[in-house]
Amino acid sequence: MAPGSPATELAQRLGPPTARYPATADAGERWQYSHQPAGQQVFNLDLDAQGRVARVEQALSEGLFGARIRPGRWTRDDVLREYGRPARVTRVHNFDGDIWVWRYLDGPTWRLLYIDIDRAGVVRGWSSGDENLPDPPEPR
């Protein structure tokens, strides 16, 4: 969607968003289109106060993680607003909270984004890693 496109055109072309978030200082509303849990993309479309597309961004970009994710400051709501619902939620024995996991692509490589959220709902850290995929079947 091109900047300036009205929300009505957005809804006609892409259908209803997977999530909608209220205005921030620089946007009227965020419409989110997530391809999780099986896909590797989450698109955020920020609408201005007039309901026109102001910005389109594929949020699951490895180059943006370090600049965006704020351990100790972000909450569960900030994570949802930026990345939407995770592909899965897991736990590990040495962290008292949940680890939210998203699939994404880094070039041709399937990767995973992990965000650690404590019991109070505060982000404590993040990391990324390769997604383990099954080997393709051998030709006969």
Report CA 13 to chain centroid distance, whole Å: 21
pLDDT at 19: 97
Q: Which helix (H) or strand (E) holds 43?
A: strand 42-47
What is the percentage of the chain residues whose pLDDT exceeds 90?
81
Sign of the dihedral defined by the CA atoms of residues 49, 4, 67, 126, in that order = positive
The model scores a pTM over 0.85: yes
The span from the CA of 107 to the CA of 91, in Å, is: 28
How does pLDDT run across 67-114, given as a tens digit for each residue?
999 999 999 999 999 999 999 999 999 999 999 999 999 988 899 999
pLDDT at 8 over 80: yes
Bridge partners for 113 per DSSP: 102, 128
pLDDT at 72: 98
Q: Assess contact for 64 and 82: CB atoms under 8 A.
A: no
Which whole number is the average pLDDT over 105-126?
95
What mean pLDDT is reported for the chain? 92
Identify which has the larger pLDDT, 25 or 22.
22
pLDDT at 135: 64
pLDDT at 134 over 80: no
73, 75, 78, 83 alpha-carbon torsion, rounded to 10°: 110
